[in-house]
Amino acid sequence: MAAVLGISGEYHDAAAALVVDGAIVAAVQEERLSRIKNDARLPIDAARACLAHAGLFAADLDRVVFYEDPIEKLERVLVSTLRTFPRSLRQFPRAVGAQLGSKVWVIDRIAEQLGVPRAKVTSTEHHRAHAASAFFVSRYPRAAVLTVDGVGEATSTALWHGDGRSLRELGRIEYPHSLGLLYAGLTAYLGFEVNEGEYKVMGLAAYGQPRLRDEFARLLRLHDDGTFELGLPYFAYLADAELGFGPAMDALLGPRRSPHRPWDLSSAADQRYADIAATLQAVTEDALLGLAREARRRTGETALCLAGGVALNAVANARLARESGFDHVFVHPAAGDAGGALGSAILGALELGDPRPAALTTAALGLPIDIAATAQLARDLGLTVRTSADLPTEVATLVAGGKIVAFCQGRFEWGPRALGNRSILANPADPDSRERLNRAIKRREPFRPFAPAVLRDRAAAYFLGADGDLTPFMTTVCPVAPAHRDRLAAVRHVDDTARVQTVTSTSAPELAAVLAALDHTIGMPIALNTSFNGAGEPIIGNGIDAVGFLLSHPIDALVVGDLVITRNAA
């Protein structure tokens, strides 16, 4: 038996994950501790937090595994920039300098900063870490596995066959052809921040129609065997890593959208941008569907596992579940680079002879909130703190009355979704609560939807198809049942779908109790559930963050454990 720490970082979504004796003990993204959104720095604080939670020291570790091979990464950067010289002239010093600086020595830095012997620190391959993160925590003994992201060392897409404790690669697509970079380039074109704005593009797509397929046929060519190619003249990431698209994109689709102009979807200009988003979404789905059907053909399996940043596209996942030919589809809840930390840890543990982990039933793998310390801080700041005699009923009554409640319970979640432990809850039937959340608290674009959390055993009555392996971690969308569309106005998107989270007493017991109480107060076991964070901030980690949020945002109550914290009436 062994203790293995997995590490991802240096690009975005840095994280650490700890596996002990084959069991997943903790998984923490660095941003939750540093309060820097998508923090990319080497996650030493997250690593130490995982160890502290387990009561271990660095000396107790049998292995530390980094989620990609830094030498192979350097080789890809060198080859790709030299191959496109002189177009890459401006990008060359920055790209190669970054690799030759701290990144190529990342293994040594991990050993030094954690205080672990260098011989214990190894690396794995980026897409293998992604594949491990999805397959080995799924409930399937055998499955096809697809990993789809921007780029690892040199791979952007890979097909795997998972069988018990093994993963066998069946094929790959290499950089610069990448669905992740396609989506990122168009995200930047539409005026959003790359690695943050892709969710916005997905929400915007529902307001448009895929009218630009002829233009997009020049951007992405799909082949019968599931492979694809990008129209490289339209993309600039070989010469400009920040923008990701070139002047040819402007010539093809029209001028890029300014990131500073407010959205007005009643205008012809912004409606065209919505149509561009809709076309991007449609061709991305087509590409993923081609990959999935090829995976089904080549493996013969009935279950599909997905990881990589592109796998966080919930709308595409819904189409895969409907049309790919697989009976079961599962997406790792932290499918982006953070998930690579857990995949790396699992791979290291399996190599040392540990058993495959149990199937993941909850995303609450972070650090617990200190209820007593939070209460003391709140009292010191003059806030009202009281213990609730019946917390689920009190929260349900507040929500039913149009109040917005921040809800902190136990350990914070793993991945980008708040699933009931660091959530903001509101009435799913109240459009006014939704507008208040968007305008005054979350400060988001008006076209971005909010998600419903629903008791799993009641979900099918309200959301069609909400009974699979995607809804527990909010990684798909489901049509809202026609009979309940009017009653679910605050969580129903413009296309009559919702990104559903199904809840059980195992996955999120405190939230499940609130949903049961809401069934009595509003007649539905459903709450609007959005992440407990402000604009541009990571999800709340500890009690200090939570109290600070209450003081700086117009929420009505903060619930921590069985405590209800509110502002003083004065």
Distance CA 384, CA 374 (A): 12
pLDDT single digits (tens) 42-97: 999 999 999 999 999 999 999 999 999 988 877 776 666 655 555 554 554 555 55
Residue 170 belongs to a domain: no
Are 191 and 269 within one domain? yes
Strand partners for 499 = none
Say yes or no: 426 and 507 in one domain: yes
- Number of domains the chain contains: 3
Instruction: Say if residues 501 and 471 touch (Cβ distance below 8 Å).
Output: yes
The answer to the question of residue 169 being in a domain is no
Residue 155 lies in a domain: no
pLDDT of residue 236: 75
CB 365 within 8 A of CB 26: yes
> Which helix or strand (DSSP H or E) is residue 6 part of?
strand 3-8
Inform me whether the pLDDT recorded for 38 exceeds 80: yes
* Share of residues in the chain with pLDDT > 70 (%): 94
Range of the domain at 377: 371-566
320 with 341, same domain: the answer is no
Residue 478 and residue 382 share a domain: yes
What letter would DSSP give residue 196? Answer: T
In this predicted structure, which of 202-211, 242-251, 371-380, 458-467 has the lowest mean pLDDT?
Answer: 242-251
Please tell me whether residues 197 and 237 are part of one structural domain: yes
Strand order in the sheet with 63-66: 23-29, 15-20, 3-8, 63-66, 121-123
pLDDT for 181 equals 92
Cα–Cα separations (whole angstroms), residue 286 to 199, 294, 297, 557 = 18, 12, 17, 44
Specify if 386 maps to a domain.
Answer: yes
pLDDT at 402 over 80: yes
Same domain as 62, residue 109: yes
Is pLDDT above 90 for 420?
Answer: yes
| Average pLDDT over the chain, rounded to an integer | 93
Q: What is the structure's pLDDT at 98?
A: 54
Q: State yes or no: pLDDT of 269 exceeds 50.
A: yes
Write down which residue in 317, 351, 385 finishes a domain: 351
Q: Are residues 318 and 437 in the same domain?
A: no
Can you give the CATH number for the domain in which 481 is found?
Answer: 3.90.870.20
Positions marked active-site: 12
Does one domain contain both 437 and 550? yes
Closest residue by Cα to residue 452 from 284, 329, 563, 314:
314
As a whole number, mean pLDDT of residues 440-447 equals 88
Determine, yes or no, domain membership for 150: no
Structure tokens at 533: 């964070």
pLDDT in tens, 204-225: 999 999 999 999 999 999 999 9
| pLDDT tens per residue, range 497-541 | 999 999 999 999 999 999 999 999 999 999 999 999 998 999 999
Which residues have C-beta within 8 Å of that of residue 315, sequence separation ≥ 6? Answer: 202, 205, 206, 281, 285, 477, 497
> Quick one: 301 and 344 in the same domain?
no
Is pLDDT of 456 > 70?
yes
For residue 125, give the CATH number of its domain: 3.30.420.40
